[in-house]
Amino acid sequence: MSDNKPVIRMDAEPPAGLEGEGFFATQLSSVVGLARKHSLWPLPFATSCCGIEYMAFLNPTYDGSRFGMERNSFSPRHADMLMVCGTISKKLGPVLQQVYTQMAEPRWVVAVGACASSGGIFDTYSVLQGIDKIIPVDVYVPGCPPRPEQIIEGVMQVQALAQAESVRRRDMPEYQNLLESYGIK
């Protein structure tokens, strides 16, 4: 008989810390960052063809749930990642800003596709030329429409931001000044 121990596979690397028999000690911000990284609840704000690609990202082929996105939240109060997919008209801008302000901190914004990032091919008076005119954007996903693999890359960038962000960053004056520059209190 061999003394083979069972192999325990962990999907997430533990944060740096002190460990021993029956205990593990690390910084609180490391544990909070790890939890935030693997429990993103997206709020899809899909208005056009990028929304279809976002739906493809959630199907079993690409499996968005492996990133901790087990459920889409269709309530801003239960979401922490706003996925803006598609063209945003100037009339829809205040609605998007209201949805953003109703989200609890910490919150991240992903501009999916050329239209959400820069207005895309619609250089007209009625289309907002990028959602960063009304809300702060954390990650831009390029493409018209972007492939699901690109959306996965954008989500992974948000995960990296969520893990590295300090627990107190959202209380800092720099962040408050950023929100005030967008007219958000």
What is the number of alpha carbons within 13 Å of residue 149 lying toward its C-beta? 0
* Residue 10 in this model has a pLDDT that exceeds 60: no
Cα(176)–Cα(185) distance, rounded to whole angstroms?
8
The pTM of the full predicted model, rounded to 2 decimals, is 0.83
The chain-wide mean pLDDT, for the chain, equals 86
144 is in an annotated binding site: yes
What lies within 8 Å, CB to CB, of 107 at 6+ separation is 79, 80, 81, 82, 100
CA distances from 120 to 38, 89, 111, 150 (A): 31, 12, 12, 17
Is 85 annotated to bind a ligand? Reply is: no
State pLDDT tens for residues 149-165: 999 999 999 999 998 88
Architecture of domain 41-182: 3-Layer(aba) Sandwich (3.40)
pLDDT at 6: 54
Residue 97 predicted with pLDDT over 90 = yes
pLDDT (average), residues 53-81: 86
Which pLDDT tens digit goes with each residue over 128-156? 999 999 999 999 999 998 999 999 999 99
- The pLDDT value given to residue 118: 93
Dihedrals φ, ψ of 142, to 5°? -80, 165
pLDDT value of residue 135:
94
CA distances from 133 to 46, 88, 92, 99, 181 (A): 18, 11, 13, 15, 10
| Residue 44 confidence (pLDDT) above 60 | yes
